[in-house]
Amino acid sequence: MKTRRKLILEDGTEYTGYSFGSPGEKLLELVFNTSMVGYQEIISDPSYTDQAVVMTYPIIGNYGINADDNETYVPSIGALIVRDYNDEPSNFRCISTLSDHMEKYDIAGLYGIDTRALTRKIREYGSCKAFITGAGEENVPEDKYPDKQNLRTDQVKRVSTGKIREYKCEPGRERFHVVAVDCGIKHNIIRSLNSFGCRVTLVPYDTDIDTVESYHPDGIFLSNGPGDPTDVPETIDLVRKLHGRYPIFGICLGHQILALSYGARTYKLKFGHRGGNHPVKDLKSGRVDITSQNHSYAVDDKSMEGTGLIATHLNLLDNTIEGIEHESDPSFGIQYHPESAPGPEDSIYLFERFIGLMSGGKDNA
């Protein structure tokens, strides 16, 4: 039997559909994702913490959930909103339905609404606060409307590792030791670093420089993660102290933190970049990659003047900065996800560039 559920936007607009996943109610940031596949990786990506993600592809749930494709141990996404939900998956790897998996991790689900209209609204008016009600809720108290509530700003603190962890390569393959600062890292980033011969020591977002240097790393990696990069001044300060001392590679939130540590600024995009089909141009080679993206913030190109930072990559859809490097320090950042999961693998070569910096060689990207 279908249970009705309501979505209330910050401007008072309401959408009514049906419930799947967890029956709870939440205040979330409403965003959309244009990927056609990969919903398991999307709901398990810590960068979606406290967000309600509208999937523009209409049919979701048809291949269920498997044991291999999670990007974190405990998903922290708030909700998934889809046009048609399939609760009878067919896939040889399937171990549970999407709804059962979402209920296990307290992820709300809403289906049966016009997601095309909802996506157009987000594109026109921007990402906004939204309140998804508990199953069957009809009369919502006025103080629960999204315009009366504030979103949390401690997402990185909640998803970062609580203790230092080690991830080793296959025996005989280790070439480098990387300290990865965890702001909400995806498993496939660690797997990618391991595949390139990097043993990874994962440390919390607020680790001090003495702890980092005690590991005598060959390089520093700054992970992806949720929220506004200015909400983690501890990480920005750490990175500032590491300038010029080690090769540094930042992805997504890590890219933004790297820019802030050199004195540049970031700003919030109207509706962000989320999907697996964003064309990005390498300004050095002219190469264009199709990239996987998930972020709300971007680096302000005008603010990079006098910081030593240089733009290296550009988004061809809106001309926003997608890559930076420092003119003298061995530091660079990429706004998108070269490790994919989900998405294209055009940009995996950027890990090779990091390897080149750690080996003391020239940029081989």
Decide: 344 and 292 in contact? Cβ < 8 Å.
Answer: yes
Q: What CA dihedral angle connects 210, 211, 215 and 217, to 10 degrees? A: -70
CB 120: neighbour CB atoms within 10 A?
A: 12
Using DSSP, state whether 306 is helix, strand or coil: coil
Between CA 86 and CA 124 the distance in angstroms is 29
Rounded alpha-carbon distances, angstroms, from residue 58 to 98, 156, 164: 15, 30, 40
| 343 φ/ψ sector (left φ>0, alpha ψ -120 to 50, else beta) | left
Between CA 60 and CA 43 the distance in angstroms is 12
Between CA 198 and CA 176 the distance in angstroms is 5
CB 354: neighbour CB atoms within 10 A?
A: 25
Is 337 an active-site residue? Answer: yes
Record the tokens describing residue 123, joined without a space.
């594109």
187, 295, 326, 337: the catalytic one is 337
10, 41, 252, 273: the catalytic one is 252
- Give the rounded distance of the alpha carbon of 290 from its chain centre: 17
DSSP one-letter code for 347: T
Record the tokens describing residue 36, joined without a space.
């056609």
Rounded alpha-carbon distances, angstroms, from residue 137 to 16, 110, 227, 290, 345: 10, 13, 29, 42, 43
Is 252 an active-site residue? Answer: yes
Give catalytic residues, as residue numbers.
Answer: 252, 337, 339
